[in-house]
Amino acid sequence: MKKTNLSSASASASWLLLAMLWGVLLLLAAWRPLALPDEGRYGEIGRWMLVSGDWLTPRLNGIPFFHKPPLLHWLEAIAMSLFGVHAWAVRLVPALHAGLMLMALYLAARHIGGERLAQRAALMLGTSLSFLIGGQYINHDMLVACWIGVAIWSFAASFMQGEQPDVRLALIGFAACALGVLSKGMIGFALPGLVLLIWLIWTRQLRKIARLPWLRGLALFGVLALPWFVLVHQQFPEVLNYMFGTQQVSRFTGTTFNNTRAWWFYLACLLLLMFPWILFIRPTRFAALEARDKAWLALLWIWVVAIVVFFSIPASKIIGYVLPVMPALALLAAIGYGEWMKNKDHISRRLLPSLALLAVLTGVGATVVAGRFSLKQTSSDVAQTLACEASPQDTVYVLDGFPYDLPFYTGATKPMIILQDWEEDRRSAGDSWQRELFEGANFDASAGSILQEPGVLTAAAQSPGNWLVLPSAMPHANRPAGWTTVQEGVNWTLLRSASKSTEATQHKGLAGCKH
């Protein structure tokens, strides 16, 4: 990896490239409705945090939701307070983290191999599906991937400064680990630690660990990461056992959760998320490299292999889990492309931009397809009717399902009443939306009143100001009596109680109503 120094104009062009790639991401983020269940779930948790004013306890439909720490929800609430409640505002949170991941890769690659390599690596990451799709998807994955990458780059650069690690870079690494923990829990420090430990052993630098600024670093980590855990534990004593024991350790070791995949699943994910650039990654002849280059290349390969193997161990596998390795893959691809282009003057210099255009068009196509698929699941059609016809005091009942995106689109400030045979669900429900709700209700007895039995619909049908949402696929013969159908939507049907009061009609309209 011969380091090349180019002009300041070239550096300015690089920053312009980063801005353009991030701009494309922001455009794609405004192109489709919420995807279900993830985007409906996490978008609504952030919206509820904003409207309720409760910034301590993440809640889904008013019920505590402690699957993950709250950084995503905090930032969502801030974004919606600034830009309004809509999908683009919520997607700005993962998009900002994708932009930070891209910038960190550019800075690291420039430090390792110079401006030209950094431009190429940034272009490859910024046109990949991991950036263009993963960077706009509302969940915790891009957040933790970003902070894991920042932590690895920072600590590695700190160790590479000499026998004494660079204090400033190390402290950035500690801060990144703390934000990773607030993003998605223990993997925020466990994965950087795993990668760096293997790398330090491989490169015979393990002695440098003792020279890190541990006191200042752990103090910084504690100030950033621990206060929320302490406060929420005081209010809900069992929350840490649930969040770390059930939702992280048990999911890693268990075999009863959703998304069971074959061992090779993540290899296919890497090919898809980094296509076409991954085709340029090639084995490196370490013997011909200088010591510095050997160390950096070893880091990149260990980064990829260690994290892919780590997430391949559980039976449950989700594509977003491999986002943390994308910066390393992009840099390996950029290095491999440079090696491949040597002595190939006959190949057009337009190859790189042509492939980048192809990759961007693939991202656009994937966004369009995802949008059309989301329309087959959304409740946005009946949500608009409900938002304009209901009043804030009305009660919405949901039977035989859970429309994650309904309250987000209506702007409701009152939880929906979810009707199920909850006693049976507690005995037999697997890794499902029912379990999300009744396990959350275990933390808050008052929130448990949101989960009721279908028998309450008989009385509710006779009272004004009540609405019922049920799957459109439910046969009419199975629908509760006494309710008037308002709208047969694509996926959900909206009904209202038979009697309406004059007062209710005078004060109708929720925040999501668009006249």
> Which tens digits make up the pLDDT trace of 17-38?
999 999 999 999 998 999 999 9
Per-residue confidence band for 232, with pLDDT thresholds at 50, 70 and 90: very high
What pLDDT is attached to residue 356?
97
The continuous run of DSSP H or E covering 84 comes out as none
What is residue 385's predicted lDDT score, i.e. its pLDDT? 96
pLDDT at 254 over 80: no
- What is the pLDDT, as a whole number, of residue 504? 45
Kindly list the distances between the CA atom of residue 50 and the CA atoms of 54, 90, 123, 345, in Å, as whole numbers in the listed order.
Answer: 7, 12, 36, 57
> What would the pLDDT profile of 107-132 be if each residue is shown by its tens digit?
999 999 999 999 999 999 999 999 99
179 membership: H or E segment, kind and range? helix 167-184
Q: Assess whether pLDDT exceeds 70 at residue 287.
A: no
Amino acid 276: pLDDT: 96
Contact by Cβ (8 Å): 155, 147: no
Residue 253, pLDDT above cutoff 90? no
What is the model's pLDDT at position 507? 58
Please state, for a pLDDT cut of 90, what percent of the chain lies above it. Answer: 84
Percent of the chain with pLDDT over 70: 95
pLDDT at 346: 66
The pLDDT assigned to 498 comes to 82
Task: Name the average pLDDT for the chain.
Answer: 93
Query: What DSSP element (H or E) covers 279?
Result: none
Helices (H) and strands (E) in the chain, counts: 22, 8
| pLDDT bucket at 465, cuts 50 / 70 / 90 | very high
Choose from 348-352, 397-401, 511-515 the range with maximum mean pLDDT: 397-401
Task: Report which of residues 266 and 252 the model is more confident about.
Answer: 266
Determine the length of the chain: 515
Which residue reads 């801030």 in tokens?
A: 78
Please give the average per-residue pLDDT across 364-386, as a whole number.
95
d(Cα 367, Cα 372) in Å, to the nearest integer? Answer: 9
Q: Provide long-range contacts, Cβ within 8 A and 24+ apart, for 347-356.
A: 352/120, 352/123, 355/276, 355/277, 356/123, 356/124, 356/127
The yes-or-no verdict on residue 257 having pLDDT over 80 is no
Nearest to 489 by CA among 331, 395, 386, 379: 379
Cis omega (within 30 of 0) for bond into 37 = yes
Q: Are 127 and 21 in contact (CB under 8 A)?
A: yes
Residue 502: pLDDT band by 50, 70, 90 thresholds?
Answer: very low
**3 or 343, which is more confident:** 343
- For residue 344, is pLDDT > 80? no
**pTM given for the model:** 0.95
What tens digit of pLDDT does each residue of 167-224 get?
999 999 999 999 999 999 999 999 999 999 999 999 999 999 999 999 999 999 999 9
- Band of residue 3 on the pLDDT scale cut at 50, 70, 90: low
pLDDT of 243 > 90? The answer is: yes
Least confident span in 109-123, 288-302, 454-468? 288-302
Q: What is the mean pLDDT of residues 346-358?
A: 86
Give the burial class of 67: count Cβ atoms within 10 A of its Cβ; 0-12 exposed, 13-18 middle, 19 or more buried: buried
